[in-house]
Structure 1
Amino acid sequence: MNLIGNESLVTLHFRFALPDGTVMISTFESTPATLQIGRGELGRKIEDCLIGLSVGAERSFDLAAGEAFGPRHEELVERIPRSELPADVELEAQAVLTFTAPDGNAFSGQVLELDDESVVIDFNHPLAGRAVRFDVQVVGVS
């Protein structure tokens, strides 16, 4: 029986929900995710929950505010002049926009508010600073 270890390649279904049961992210209704433990693809605390599980394991973990996706940082909420955004970007409240950093990495931000001159974008992970329930079903381990 293969157990998930520090460098395992794992295929799993997962769900992140708020304490009130609101599902924020889930793969249970689609294709399972595959990730390499130790690369931080799900974050250290979340990966720690997986260590020692085997194929077929189903578990739920309640993670305190900030444990799963880190703390919320107010400095990651920025007001950006519309003139600095590409003209073809469609802006609306709550939309999630993807940006490309100078090093080529992609990152997302959620539009919190907008007016004729500027847009307020939150670059925190949507679950940063929040308590979450992490449900997992392990499909494969190698």
Structure 2
Amino acid sequence: MWNYGSTAVVRYVGTLSDGSVFDSTEGLDPLEFQLGSGSVIHGFDNAVRNMEIGECSTITIPCKDAFGEYSAERVEHGPMYAIPNAKDIEVGKLFYFVTEEGLKFPARVTSIDEGMATIDFNHPLAGEDLTFEIELLDVRG
């Protein structure tokens, strides 16, 4: 088991339960991240911590351990004028809602009707079980 704080270097393909790819390092540089830093989801971090250099592993992370269950309570309705840059927002397209404190939250406008918007603050992968094919290339530190 690798120590927290070490830097892991991996290649991976992430798929949903229907087999569609939602993220991948294919054609890109490998992903480098610090183990235990919270920069990747917990289940991914744990899997890599238990791998050997050169090992390939396939793991499935249930939604509750990835981006959480989908929650209807995270869907809000409000006037378009209350949304910064509302003129640039398209139904179905992801945008980042920025709080007065500068925190960013991903959101998606799911409908606009007579100046009122329905905004979904669930992570786009909420409610999805995630499968990763991971190859550990190196660990430093």
Normalised TM-score (structure 2): 0.84
Shift in Å, 1:118: 1.9
CA distance in 1, matches of 2:50, 2:103: 32
Which residue does the alignment assign to 1:70? Answer: 68
Identity of aligned residues (%): 26
Q: In structure 2, the residue corresponding to 1:11 is in which secondary structure?
A: strand
The structure-2 alpha-carbon separation of the partners of 1:75 and 1:58, relative to structure 1 and needing over 3 Å to count, comes to same
Out of 5, 12, 16, the residue aligned to residue 3 of structure 2 is 5
Q: Which has the higher helix share?
A: 2
Q: In structure 1, the residue corresponding to 2:73 is in which secondary structure?
A: helix
CA distance in 2, matches of 1:42, 1:133: 14
Which residue does the alignment assign to 1:92? Answer: 90
Does residue 33 of structure 1 match 2:31?
yes
CA distance in 1, matches of 2:121, 2:12: 23
The structure-2 alpha-carbon separation of the partners of 1:102 and 1:139, relative to structure 1 and needing over 3 Å to count, comes to farther
Question: What's the C-alpha RMSD, in Å, of the aligned pairs?
Answer: 2.0
Does residue 46 of structure 1 match 2:41?
no
Normalised TM-score (structure 1): 0.84
Shift in Å, 1:95: 0.2
Shift in Å, 1:50: 1.4
Letter in 2 for 1:131: D
1:122-137 correspondence to structure 2 within 5 Å: 122-137=120-135
The structure-2 alpha-carbon separation of the partners of 1:15 and 1:79, relative to structure 1 and needing over 3 Å to count, comes to farther
Shift in Å, 1:123: 1.4
Shift in Å, 1:133: 0.8
Number of aligned residues: 140
Which residue does the alignment assign to 2:58? Answer: 60
The structure-2 alpha-carbon separation of the partners of 1:88 and 1:75, relative to structure 1 and needing over 3 Å to count, comes to closer
The Cα offsets for residues 32-75 of structure 1, whole Å up to 9 and x where unpaired, read as 22211212111222211111223322211122332222222222
The structure-2 alpha-carbon separation of the partners of 1:92 and 1:6, relative to structure 1 and needing over 3 Å to count, comes to same
Structure 2: gaps (5+ residues): none
Which residue does the alignment assign to 2:13? Answer: 15
CA distance in 2, matches of 1:107, 1:21: 27
The structure-2 alpha-carbon separation of the partners of 1:125 and 1:50, relative to structure 1 and needing over 3 Å to count, comes to same
